[in-house]
Amino acid sequence: MNGDDAVDETAGTDAAPGASSDLLARAQAWLAQDPDGQTRAELRDVIEAASSGAPDAVGDLADRFAGRLAFGTAGLRGRLGAGSNRMNRVLVGQAAAGFAAYLLEKNEGDTPPTVVIGYDGRRNSDVFAVDSAEIFAGAGLRAILLPRLLPTPVLAFAVRRLGADAGVMVTASHNPPDDNGYKVYLGGVDDGAQIVSPADAEIAAHIERVAAVGDLAAIPRSLGYETAAETVVEDYVAATAAVAPAPAGAEGLRWVYTAMHGVGAETLSRILEAAGYPAPTVVEAQIEPDGRFPTVSFPNPEEPGAMDLAFETARAAEAELIIANDPDADRLAVAIPDAAADGGWRRLTGNQVGLLLGWRAARLASPGEGASLACSLVSSPGLGAVAEHYGLDFHTTLTGFKWISRAPGMVFGFEEALGYLVNPETVRDKDGISAAIAMLGLVAEARGRGATLADLLAEFDETFGSFASDQISVRVEDLSDIGRIMAALRAQHPASIGDVAVEKVDDLLEGVDGFPPGDVLRFWLEGGSRIIVRPSGTEPKLKLYLDVRGDSPADAEERIAALSSGARDLLDAIG
């Protein structure tokens, strides 16, 4: 059967009244190589129902095999389940074999490449990690599996600490509970950073070649992988504790911590002890790893309701501060008491936290030696004001720490989505644990002079100006809607957004300011405001990032509210 014959996956045939014979053949071929009893049973049931013509089952089967989860600069990420369009042991096995082939192709030394594998507490993370270790070892690589489930930053650290050629972290970070993923790092000249082009395309090509054979059992495996010594974790603990040893103001600090059902708590508690900070009151229901995420529908501190239990715990503890990690602990959220906020607590934005941590880094940096601050182009331009104030270089990059981590001379980098890199000599990726230690250091220093975190925010405004940001996320069911909206904005640039005139439009698909081409539109507005529009790299969302600079905090808030209203009206007009 040729490709044209397979277009209508729901067309009836003599052999299968509901699903096409091509679709059923692909599903059966997948079933034959699946080593996982759970996903085999799941797929067998769907095939049986689709063969009998059940419409929901036909649609389900078609979706499972509508394509392959694409391997890109974010690695793999998707919903758990059977099929080429899901995360499962077949897909992960093919990815591991393809990545091994890539590393062997690039290897120029006499010794085999070394790859480190880590995993978090999501469902099947440990299984995918062991499968990968066995396949890497079977391909002749030196494979080192981290000793237990650990935060993503520990894996990023281990790539550099062990001098590895590559690293793999099995995690879906802050994605919904049913997701998992496969994040890839490179050592050597990449210095433990996440992959960027063209490595992603080259790895993807190797994976496709493995997948085309369609026989997972034929991929060599070996139990000859190593388990990393505990000293790797101990070294990470020591290096992170050194980011901000507790000053005198830390004594008596009352604070709350949540791991969001993730893997951050154990490692953070060891670092707190080593750095000399008082232990937090923890959100008991969320402190242990649990891949079901029973108390949150979406384990992302940015999502509405995700920090409600932390707020409740903080009220009871009369805390001064809340710190939250996402499930793999590469992101940090911070909340402070606020009588004007619903429930008496307010989560700071990623930009607010990033600007405070950037201010801290700038004070510690040595100007005139090429030191720089860096952030993604959708993050607050306030970081540029900090860099200018301290005589440091400043870089904006495409979104993602795969780009931020490569900024020349970077001593600090951040992105507004709660990602912060405070110790680039240790970890070349966002690290929610080291960022938590840096934030505790800031809070403790302020306490030592009778100030609060809210006071630090006010001091920032007085020193650098009043910056305000907002974000609009449009979640879609059909990914084509994102392309349609981007195409409409490109076809006819708005003359104004709300009452503010658009002065200039940058289309990063055309390559702007040295950025690699990307699906990003940047609107510069009268008065220095801006709006940036881009598809999310990890979720079915279109994102709009709004930034203004006002004459005062009140003026900035007024400007951002008006701009946000205008942006929503623009989206409504596009439909």
pLDDT tens over the chain, length 575 residues = 333 333 333 333 333 456 789 999 999 999 999 999 999 999 999 999 999 989 999 999 999 999 999 998 789 999 999 999 999 999 999 999 999 999 999 998 889 999 999 999 999 999 999 999 999 999 999 999 999 999 999 999 999 999 999 999 999 999 999 999 999 999 999 999 999 989 999 999 999 999 999 999 999 999 999 999 999 999 999 999 999 999 999 999 999 999 999 999 999 999 999 999 999 999 999 999 999 999 999 999 999 899 999 999 999 999 999 999 999 999 999 999 999 998 999 999 999 999 999 999 999 998 777 999 999 999 999 999 999 999 999 999 988 999 999 999 999 999 999 999 999 999 999 999 999 999 999 999 999 999 999 999 999 999 999 999 999 999 888 889 999 999 999 999 999 999 999 999 999 998 887 788 889 999 999 988 999 999 987 678 899 999 999 999 999 999 999 999 999 999 999 98
What is the structure's pLDDT at 299? 95
Predicted TM-score of the model (pTM): 0.92
**Equal CATH topology for 70-227 and 230-464:** yes
Query: Is 173 annotated in the active site?
Result: yes
Residue type, 392: L
Torsion angle in degrees (nearest 10) through CA of 544, 549, 552, 558: -40
Choose, from 20, 173, 376, 469, the residue flagged as catalytic.
Answer: 173
What is the structure's pLDDT at 515? 84
Torsion angle in degrees (nearest 10) through CA of 390, 393, 397, 402: -100
Which of 342, 346, 362 shows the shortest CA–CA distance to 354?
362
Report DSSP state, residue 198. T
CATH of domain 466-574: 3.30.310.50
- CA–CA separation, 47 and 412 (whole Å): 51
Q: Which residues contact 484 (CB under 8 A, 6 or more apart)?
A: none
Cβ contact 352:339 at 8 Å? no
CATH of domain 230-464: 3.40.120.10
- CA–CA separation, 181 and 571 (whole Å): 31
CATH level 2 (architecture), domain 70-227? 3-Layer(aba) Sandwich (3.40)
**Alpha-carbon distances of 384 from 35, 237, 414, 428, 516, rounded to whole Å:** 52, 31, 12, 21, 21
What is the structure's pLDDT at 17? 52
Which of 234, 179, 432, 217 shows the shortest CA–CA distance to 325?
432
- CA–CA separation, 554 and 358 (whole Å): 23
Burial class of residue 238 in the structure, from the number of CB atoms within 10 Å of its CB (0-12 exposed, 13-18 middle, 19+ buried): middle
Which of 322, 188, 316, 194 shows the shortest CA–CA distance to 258?
322
- CA–CA separation, 353 and 67 (whole Å): 39
DSSP 160-180: HHTT-SEEEEE--TTS-TTEE
- CA–CA separation, 17 and 5 (whole Å): 16
| Per-residue tokens: 556 | 């900035």
Per-domain boundaries in the chain: 1-66, 70-227, 230-464, 466-574
Q: Which residues contact 71 (CB under 8 A, 6 or more apart)?
A: 95, 98, 200, 203, 204, 207
Partners of 533 in beta bridges: 521, 544
What is the structure's pLDDT at 539? 75
Residue by residue, what is the 3-state secondary structure of 235-259? HHHHHHHCCCCCCHHHCCCCEEEEC
Chain centroid to CA 194: how far?
11
- CA–CA separation, 48 and 51 (whole Å): 5
Continuous H helices in 343-381: 350-364
- CA–CA separation, 70 and 52 (whole Å): 31
Residue with tokens 């299968």: 16
Q: What SS3 state is found at 79?
A: strand
